[in-house]
Structure 1
Amino acid sequence: MQSVLKLFDFNLFSALDVLLVAFLLYQLYNLIRGTIAANIFIGLALICLLYFVVKALDMKLLTTILGNFMNVGIIAVIVVFQQEIRRFLVLVGRNASLQRNRAWWRYFLGKNEAEKDNYKRIKPIIDACKSMKQTHTGALIVFVKDYDEQIYQTSCEVVDAKISKRLIEAIFQKNGPLHDGAVIISGNKIKSASCILPLTDNSDLPAQFGLRHRAGIGVTEANDATALIVSEETGEISYAKHGRVKMNISFAELEKLLNKDF
């Protein structure tokens, strides 16, 4: 009877506990939704469900086999979801620091001034996209908040230049030596160009997606980054984040997305 009463002993900290778990599950869902990790998670959940079924049916051989898998379940989850766990921890750490700095920035300069300053950064990118859309110039621009030299500089040409419409257009010029690969932008600078990026493993993407789209989606799956893709065939602009992509977006929508994420 006492154990039953303890079960219903719900206080403020119990409510906080439930809310925190719900928040963590929601963040996990956002990280893996639409990615190959979602299918892996479903597979692991089915194996766990199968274990409890065969255990209840007293099927000793399968129970033993699946039981050994369950014993190393935590290690298996860490190995399989290492990219998602890394991205989640980076997201938590960044929100704890940058959000506070952004609040101070808006407090001292005012919201309007902060938005004007951000618009000055993204305007050259939007203008370059307008020009490349008209000329059907393919482009892949990746935005990262923390530029990891070990990840990007090993497969890129270092640029470290101010963001400029003409520079972006020159990099992606069809006959230029740097047009293959991606441009990496961090802060107020173009850090590197001609970067070779990992391709996505997602098999559910539209058939018309080429290597440029798959690389743009792949880099947002493996890192805390966003990608802007201009199609060489159609001039269509796409925007990728967390392994998911928005296709054929307008310049007004592009401005909102960049103002929010960049």
Structure 2
Amino acid sequence: MHFFDFNLFKFTFFDLLDVLLVAFLIYQLYNLIRGTIAANIFIGLALLFGMYYVVKALHMQLLTGILGKFVDVGIIALIVVFQQEVRRFLLLVGKNASLQRNRAWWQYFFGKADAEKNNYARIKPIIDACKSLKSTRTGALIVFAKYYDEQFYQNSCEVIEGKISKRLLESIFQKTSPLHDGAVVIAENKIKSASCILPLTEKTDLPAQFGLRHRAGIGVTEANDATAIIISEETGELSYAKQGRVKMNISFAELEKLLNKDF
């Protein structure tokens, strides 16, 4: 008579932690590629790897050799194919572990009133400009970059390095302005650049009314630690993009809360 060895199923606290961490990483990966072409690529690669192990088990030498070449460079292929997703994942990890987040908590507990007052003074010109642009249905894309990547932004932008002001933002996005076609990038408490050509999102499940401006606003928040305000030229509707997701038709009260939190 054979007895079943229950020692094989010993489950410790670290085993539970291991499972939870893997589940968290898979969930974050799912969030990063959900609704993008990368999701289809990931499924294709998974099928390719699965097929390799099937043909290997069936001793199909020719297919095993061909598919084995892909498997041998698996990690490198994943990094190349999912370059943007890997970048976004590392930005997410760095953002959560950054000293700036720790300073923000310190400020929240010990200097909240002063911080809110100073922050409102910073965002008021932006909100006022958005009100004006919305009322005239002037299309606009304003990006708030937490870290200003000169190589990413300056290659396709006109450098401004100007103080944030309502009139400057309004003048940039006027249809007769040579800088209106593109995005304004705000970082380090300045309007750093304008007329920026940004990467478009690869998401396939966006509303039909989203044009290039919305797709660029979402795309830049996928590739960088940034948020974006999008004002529709057709409807004047305000949208807010963050981490590849977009909130549509937001009010100015919502916009103020979002900017207070993120900017």
Counterpart CA distance in 2 for 1:113 and 1:6 is 59
Q: What is the aligned-residue identity percentage? A: 75
CA RMSD of aligned residues (A): 2.3
Match of 1:103 among 102, 105, 108: 105
- Is the Cα contact below 8 Å between 2:35 and 2:204 reproduced in 1? no
SS of 1:155's partner is coil
Q: 1:261 to 1:26 in 2, by over 3 A?
A: farther
Q: 1:208 to 1:14 in 2, by over 3 A?
A: same
Please state if 1:71 is matched with 2:72. Answer: yes
**Cα deviation digits, residues 15-58 of structure 1 (max 9, x gap):** 22222222222222222223222222222222223333444444
Please state if 1:12 is matched with 2:13. Answer: yes
Q: Bigger CA drift: 227-236 or 53-62?
A: 53-62
- Is the Cα contact below 8 Å between 1:34 and 1:243 reproduced in 2? no
Displacement of 1:238 after TM fit?
1.7
Q: 1:233 to 1:19 in 2, by over 3 A?
A: same
- Is the Cα contact below 8 Å between 1:126 and 1:255 reproduced in 2? yes
Counterpart CA distance in 2 for 1:141 and 1:118 is 17
- Is the Cα contact below 8 Å between 2:36 and 2:204 reproduced in 1? no
Structure 1 residues not aligned, in runs of 5+ = none
- Aligned partner of 2:251 in structure 1 is 250
Counterpart CA distance in 1 for 2:227 and 2:190 is 15
Structure 2 residues not aligned, in runs of 5+ = none
Q: Bigger CA drift: 136-145 or 31-40?
A: 31-40
Superposition TM-score, scaled by structure 2 size: 0.88
- After TM superposition, the structure 1 = structure 2 runs for residues 75-94 of structure 1, keeping only pairs within 5 Å, are 75-94=76-95
Q: Which amino acid aligns with 1:222?
A: A
- Aligned partner of 1:215 in structure 2 is 216
**Cα deviation digits, residues 99-157 of structure 1 (max 9, x gap):** 112112223313x4333332332222222111111101010111110001122122212
Q: Which amino acid aligns with 1:12?
A: F
- Is the Cα contact below 8 Å between 1:157 and 1:194 reproduced in 2? yes
- After TM superposition, the structure 1 = structure 2 runs for residues 13-162 of structure 1, keeping only pairs within 5 Å, are 13-97=14-98, 98-110=100-112, 112-162=113-163
Counterpart CA distance in 1 for 2:18 and 2:60 is 36
Q: 1:5 to 1:223 in 2, by over 3 A?
A: same
Counterpart CA distance in 2 for 1:35 and 1:188 is 32
Superposition TM-score, scaled by structure 1 size: 0.89
**Cα deviation digits, residues 82-115 of structure 1 (max 9, x gap):** 11112222222232122112112223313x4333
